Amino acid sequence: MAKIQLGPKPFLLPQPAVLVGTVVDGVPNFMLAAWCGVANQTPPMVTVAVRPNRHTQRGIEANRAFSLNIPSTNLAVKADYCGIVSGKKADKSSVFTLREGTVAGAPLIEECPLILECRLVQTLELPTHNLHLGEVVEVHADTDCLVDGVPEMGKVDPLVYSITDGQYWKIGGPVATAFQVGKQLEP
């Protein structure tokens, strides 16, 4: 296959589009972020990268907590709005219906089918972003997204971000069962 070198780019595909929930000066705030990932299994930990000058940074610092709210594709407009407009300029606390959680300073979005409540463990100060490591202390899921007791990807219908083409995408169908389909190649 013909390949081209594109230089140093953060071109990981796909990325989840999540709404990072914080409370800044008493006001719940949500910022869209795609630069997040799982970091540890037990206890479960996730990372999210936030520019130091973001409104969200203040909330994470002040409360040492944040939520990751996973929107379905039908929330694309509201989610994108939360990526365009800073909490410094607009009160985003009424964009969504708020839900009570278990961690202070980590507001939850009722409309999101899957939500991770996180306590801040550590922050790595990288050249342009703060990489926040959070311990997931609770997960909230819509009951109508559950299959065999866990949220099923197709029912969650998560908003997916593509950093290369700058589009939101949706999930298509299932391809195969993980840790199963590859067994046919075992010697």
The one-letter amino acid at 29:
N
Measuring CA to CA, how many Å separate 113 from each of 69, 94, 117?
A: 8, 18, 13
Please identify, using beta-carbon distances, which residue of 28 and 113 lies nearer to a copy of itself: 113
Question: What's the min distance (Å) between Cβ of 24 and a copy of itself?
Answer: 19
Which C-beta is closer to a copy of itself: that of 26 or that of 173? 173
Residue (23 or 34) nearer to a copy of itself, CB: 34
26 vs 77, which CB is nearer to a copy of itself? 77
Helix (H, G, I), strand (E, B) or coil at 153: helix
Shortest distance, CB of residue 59 to a copy of itself, whole angstroms? 20
Question: Residue 164: which of 30, 13, 42 has the closest Cα?
Answer: 13
- Least separation, in Å, of the C-beta of 96 and a copy of itself? 12
Shortest Å distance, C-beta 52 to a copy of itself: 12
How far CA 16 is from CA of 7, 88, 157, 159, in Å, comes to 23, 24, 11, 7
The residues near 86 (Cβ < 8 Å, ≥ 6 apart) are: 54, 55
DSSP type of residue 158:
B
